[in-house]
Amino acid sequence: MTKLESSEDKSMSESQRSPLASLVLFICCVAIAASLFAAAHYLVIDLPAQKDLPAPENAKGSTSNCKVCKNNCKVDINYYTCLAICEDLECSG
């Protein structure tokens, strides 16, 4: 056997993979590509959409709960105590 023939035999055996090894390699490549695509999608589409959302109406610092609380104090026996509680809990932003 010459040197050339032995190198050809060696390269032939290295280039031939089992079908299972090829399948595993393909699945890994697809998983990496999908991960890159998902990360790009998150950065380009999802993250800016989350930043543009307004705060909910009942969020801390919102005056809608303050108005409701003060309106409810009109029927309370201790009107001024109720207003003080509203100021502390709902109206302090």
Average pLDDT over residues 32-37: 98
- The whole-number pLDDT of residue 88 equals 82
In this predicted structure, the answer to whether residue 93 has a pLDDT above a threshold of 90 is: no
- The whole-number pLDDT of residue 9 equals 54
The residue ranking higher by pLDDT, 28 or 3, is 28
pTM: 0.43
In this predicted structure, the answer to whether residue 57 has a pLDDT above a threshold of 80 is: no
| DSSP reduced 3-state for 53 | coil
The domain segmentation of the chain, as residue ranges, is 17-53, 57-93
**Residues 38, 44: Cα–Cα separation, whole Å:** 10
CA 51 from chain center: how many Å? 12
pLDDT bin (cut points 50, 70, 90) of residue 20 is: very high
